[in-house]
């Protein structure tokens, strides 16, 4: 079970993390968070290098707020992205965002 189902990560986890010295007092941040002003625009490389670290705190819905047809339409794929290669390795990953709708043939 996921702790964040019942507990707010920002408050529940933070108090213990601060007591143990593994979180700063400014909020819950993983090692990939640099605090740089452009972090929101540059987090893709960190996600590609270690998505597991991201998913320790973030859930799929956090990504989909921006990276989906229902969100802000921000394309998460870099300029050299090869959809055929990714699809052949893990089609399920593609289907998270690129769902085929039989009603609209999309």
pLDDT in tens, 57-102: 788 888 888 887 777 878 888 788 898 998 898 888 788 777 765 5
Amino acid 106: pLDDT:
47
pLDDT in tens, 1-33: 567 677 776 666 666 666 665 555 555 555 566
Tokens of 90: 């893990």
User: Does any domain span residue 12?
Assistant: yes
User: Does any domain span residue 67?
Assistant: no
User: Does any domain span residue 36?
Assistant: yes
Of 72, 62, 67, residue with least CA distance to 30 = 62
**Domain containing 25: what range?**
3-58
User: Does any domain span residue 81?
Assistant: no
User: Does any domain span residue 75?
Assistant: no
For 31-50, b/e burial (b = at least 16 CB within 10 A) is: eebeeeeeeeeebeebbeee
Please classify residue 75 by burial: count the beta carbons closer than 10 Å to its beta carbon, then call 0-12 exposed, 13-18 middle and 19+ buried: exposed
User: Does any domain span residue 68?
Assistant: no
Q: Per the structure, how many domains does the chain have?
A: 1
pLDDT in tens, 29-52: 555 666 666 777 778 878 878 777
């Amino acid at each position: 079970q996921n702790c964040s189902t019942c507990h707010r990560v920002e408050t529940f986890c933070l108090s213990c993390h601060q007591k143990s010295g593994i979180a700063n007092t400014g909020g819950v941040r993983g090692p990939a968070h640099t605090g740089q002003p452009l972090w929101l625009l540059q987090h893709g490389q960190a996600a590609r290098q270690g998505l597991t670290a991201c998913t320790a705190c973030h859930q799929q819905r956090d990504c989909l707020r921006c990276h989906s047809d229902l969100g802000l339409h921000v394309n998460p794929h870099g300029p050299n992205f090869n959809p055929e290669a990714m699809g052949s390795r893990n089609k399920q990953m593609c289907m998270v965002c690129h769902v085929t709708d039989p009603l609209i043939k999309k």
